[in-house]
């Protein structure tokens, strides 16, 4: 079996690592000249870490995502008001289920785990044949036994998919950044919510802070706006919206290199795909189920996809009328589509609640957060993390 993977993001590289370690020849094609990732953070929850464990990468991910010594059980986590008063706090046991890592560090772990020459950069893919085996690539077509399309929310492969819903604006815009040096966040981590505004604080292992700022936009904004618009980048728009909020928000933004603060519209799939499989081509990660980041599950679901697909493709007990490989990719679709589409719906709903702009809706949101028992909030936070990789 020979596998071609389109896209050198987290999901594509994780799939390549798992297959290669199982002895499957893999080639990864990346349209960019380099396979680097954005300079922001990603929260690896229990399910994402379980997927990395199944791929043999769990210890390395936990090492770069260890909580720094200054953040312990006395550091509160949860959701606050702009003045710093707490709406809800999560038990420390919930904090222990997440490892916040820099995307570049996770990308490095994945790339280092691959054999030299696995990733071919500067080779964009234009289309895949109906049987899902031949990819039209810059430099000429190539044929594989399985093709994995992990080429992101704007997937070129998905555009030819039956029932592709396209993408739409979620109604808000985000800025993300990582401070250049440690910032004291022992007063609290998590999210702060206002009327149509949200700011998140998540410490990295070395004391630097990954942060995000979210601002609601008018409905119907056009999708596909290029990230990095000069008028929207940098600390100016962030401080204009959040500069008067509680400490250390202003300190965190000030500690971030201005050129590293980029704005982008938050987008999602405009509907549910009827299938993640077309012949022997499967969609993976954002190409299959691009969701809003409100549950922090985009990257974690891509890792689940990767671990599931690797286990199924390398499981010799799987068989079907059309052959083992066809049965494996059909089973991948059966397992992954319901879970990922359900989580995408939950993330979209949560985003509408957290981005409430009206005085009454924002008041109702804050009241609901304030009167939710911590144990109930913890169960909700942990529910989405319940996942086990298939035995392979």
What domain range is 127 assigned to? 3-383
Q: For residue 169, is it within any domain?
A: yes
- How many alpha carbons lie under 13 Å from residue 68 in its C-beta half-sphere? 18
Task: Kindly provide the residue ranges of all beta strands, DSSP E only, lying in 217-358, ordered along the sequence.
Answer: 262-269, 277-278, 281-283
Q: For residue 391, is it within any domain?
A: no
Q: For residue 63, is it within any domain?
A: yes
Would you state the pLDDT for residue 376?
A: 87
CATH code for position 329: 3.50.50.60
Would you state the pLDDT for residue 38?
A: 61
Which residues, listed in sequence order, are joined to residue 267 by a DSSP beta bridge? 169
The contacts of residue 310 (CB under 8 Å, 6+ apart) are 15, 18, 19, 22, 54, 55, 392
Q: What whole-number distance in Å separates Cα of residue 79 and Cα of residue 89?
A: 7
DSSP state, residue 35: -
Q: What pLDDT, in 10s, does the model give residues 338-377? A: 999 999 999 999 999 999 999 999 999 999 999 999 888 8
* Under 8 Å between Cβ of 287 and 149: yes
* Under 8 Å between Cβ of 297 and 45: yes
pLDDT along the chain (392 residues), means of 10: 96 98 96 73 93 94 71 84 95 81 93 97 95 95 97 95 94 95 94 97 92 84 48 91 97 96 94 96 98 96 98 86 87 97 96 95 96 87 87 66
For residue 389, count other CB atoms closer than 10 A to its CB. Answer: 20
First to last CA, the chain: 16
Q: For residue 389, is it within any domain?
A: no
Q: For residue 184, is it within any domain?
A: yes
The contacts of residue 59 (CB under 8 Å, 6+ apart) are none
Q: For residue 310, is it within any domain?
A: yes
Q: What pLDDT, in 10s, does the model give residues 274-289? A: 999 999 999 999 999 9
Q: For residue 390, is it within any domain?
A: no
Q: Which residue has the tokens 């020979």?
A: 2
Would you state the pLDDT for residue 224?
A: 44
Report in angstroms the alpha-carbon separations of 156 from 187, 215, 261, 314, 373.
Answer: 44, 29, 27, 27, 45
Q: How many domains does the chain have?
A: 1
Which residues, listed in sequence order, are joined to residue 352 by a DSSP beta bridge? none
Q: For residue 392, is it within any domain?
A: no
* Token reading at 56: 């043999």
Q: What whole-number distance in Å separates Cα of residue 118 and Cα of residue 342?
A: 34
């Amino acid at each position: 079996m020979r596998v071609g993977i389109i896209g050198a993001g987290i999901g594509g590289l994780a799939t390549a690592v798992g297959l290669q370690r199982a002895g499957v020849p893999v080639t990864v094609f990346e349209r960019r000249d380099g396979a680097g990732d954005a300079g922001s953070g990603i929260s690896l929850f229990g399910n994402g870490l379980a997927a990395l464990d199944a791929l043999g990468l769990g210890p390395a991910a936990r090492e770069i995502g260890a909580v720094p010594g200054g953040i312990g059980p006395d550091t509160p986590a949860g959701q606050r008001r702009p003045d710093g008063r707490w709406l809800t706090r999560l038990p420390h046991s919930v904090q222990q289920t997440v490892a916040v890592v820099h995307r570049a560090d996770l990308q490095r772990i994945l790339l280092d785990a691959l054999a030299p020459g696995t990733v071919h950069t500067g080779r964009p893919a234009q289309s895949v044949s109906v049987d899902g085996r031949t990819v039209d690539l810059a430099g000429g077509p190539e044929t594989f036994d399985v093709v994995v399309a992990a080429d992101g929310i704007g997937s070129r492969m998905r555009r030819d998919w039956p029932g592709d819903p396209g993408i739409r604006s979620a109604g808000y815009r985000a800025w993300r950044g990582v401070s250049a040096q440690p910032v004291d966040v022992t007063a609290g981590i998590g999210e702060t919510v206002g009327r149509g505004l949200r700011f998140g604080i998540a410490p990295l292992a070395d004391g630097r802070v990954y942060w995000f700022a979210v601002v609601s936009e008018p409905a119907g904004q056009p999708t596909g706006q290029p990230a990095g618009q000069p008028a929207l980048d940098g600390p100016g728009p962030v401080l204009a919206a959040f500069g008067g909020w509680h400490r250390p928000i202003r300190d965190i933004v000030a500690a971030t290199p201005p050129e590293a603060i980029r704005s982008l519209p938050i987008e999602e799939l405009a509907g549910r795909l009827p299938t993640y499989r077309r012949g022997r081509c499967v969609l993976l990660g954002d190409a299959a189920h691009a969701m809003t980041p409100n549950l922090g599950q985009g990257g974690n679901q891509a890792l689940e996809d990767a671990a599931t697909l690797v286990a199924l493709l390398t499981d010799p007990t799987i068989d079907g009328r059309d052959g083992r490989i066809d049965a494996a990719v059909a089973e991948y679709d059966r397992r992954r589509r319901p879970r990922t589409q359900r989580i995408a719906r939950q993330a979209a709903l949560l985003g509408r609640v957290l981005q409430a702009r009206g005085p009454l809706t924002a008041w109702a949101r804050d009241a609901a957060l304030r009167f939710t028992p911590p144990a109930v909030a913890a169960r909700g936070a942990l529910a989405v993390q319940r996942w086990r990789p298939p035995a392979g």
